[in-house]
């Protein structure tokens, strides 16, 4: 049976903490939360299920959003209609990134931020992320475009950073000459 996760709201101080490295083996509770996060993120991106379970669409979650300050992130990326790539990274680190910057033209959203926040969030167009899978095996991914933004957004959560912290208050919007908008 599907049971919605309890996702912390932006006002919760736990979202502002620096999370600690997770240690292996992961607990069954952690593995269960990861599985539930994958399900919930997937359902949230399938219209009839999102409606049925009243889920706001989201492609990523980080453990601090569940009240646990451990460095674990989950991303469910829709690569084509109804086809999803799942990423679970334990102790993720960005080991290289492009010079080129991008921003989501519509701005970013977050399952902990229950309001619209306008403005472009500058991100690296491409990042290489290293980390571990749930069994402690080393893994690596090269992410670009939307997926690159998702990794940076989720890793920010592990460092107590919310996406709007990165919006320039004096100049919240860029034009196409300044940054590539996707
Ligand atoms: Ni978020």
Separation of CA 68 and ligand 1 centre (Å): 14
CATH class held by domain 26-181: alpha beta
Q: How far is the CA of 154 from the centre of ligand 1 (A)?
A: 6
Those residues whose beta carbon sits under 5 angstroms from the ion ligand 1 are 110
Residues in the chain, pLDDT under 70: none
Characterize 27-42 residue by residue with b for buried, 16 or more Cβ atoms within 10 angstroms of its Cβ, and e for exposed: eeebeebbebbbbbbb
Nearest to 149 by CA among 90, 45, 75: 75
* Res 117: pLDDT: 97
Is-contact 59 78, C-beta < 8 A?
yes
Q: How far is ligand 1, taken at its centre, from the CA of residue 62, in Å?
A: 7
Domain positions in the chain: 26-181
Integer Rg of the chain from CA: 16
pLDDT at 1: 82
- Residues tagged active-site: 154
**Spacing, Cα 70 to ligand 1 middle (Å):** 15
- Ligand 1: centre distance to CA 17 (Å): 14
Query: What size, in residues, is the chain?
Result: 182
Please report the pLDDT score of residue 158 as a whole number: 98
3-state secondary structure 76-125: EEEEECCEEEEEEEEEEEEEEECCCEEECCCCCCECCECCCCCCCCCEEC
């Amino acid at each position: 049976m599907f049971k919605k996760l309890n996702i912390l709201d932006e006002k919760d101080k736990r979202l502002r903490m620096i999370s600690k490295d997770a240690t292996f083996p992961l607990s069954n509770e952690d593995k269960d939360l990861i599985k539930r996060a994958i399900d919930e993120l997937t359902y949230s991106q399938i219209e009839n299920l999102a409606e049925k379970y009243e889920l706001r669409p989201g492609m990523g979650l980080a453990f601090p959003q569940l009240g646990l300050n451990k460095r674990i992130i989950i991303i469910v990326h829709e690569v084509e209609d109804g086809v999803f790539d799942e990423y679970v990274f334990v102790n993720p680190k960005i080991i290289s990134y492009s010079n080129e910057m991008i921003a989501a033209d519509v701005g970013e959203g977050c399952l902990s931020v229950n309001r619209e926040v306008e403005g472009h969030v500058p991100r690296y167009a491409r990042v290489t992320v290293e980390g571990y899978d749930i069994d402690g095996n080393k893994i690596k991914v090269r992410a670009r475009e939307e997926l690159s933004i998702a990794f940076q957004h989720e890793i920010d959560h592990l460092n107590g950073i919310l996406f709007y912290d990165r919006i320039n208050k004096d100049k919240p919007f860029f034009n196409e000459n300044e940054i590539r908008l996707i």
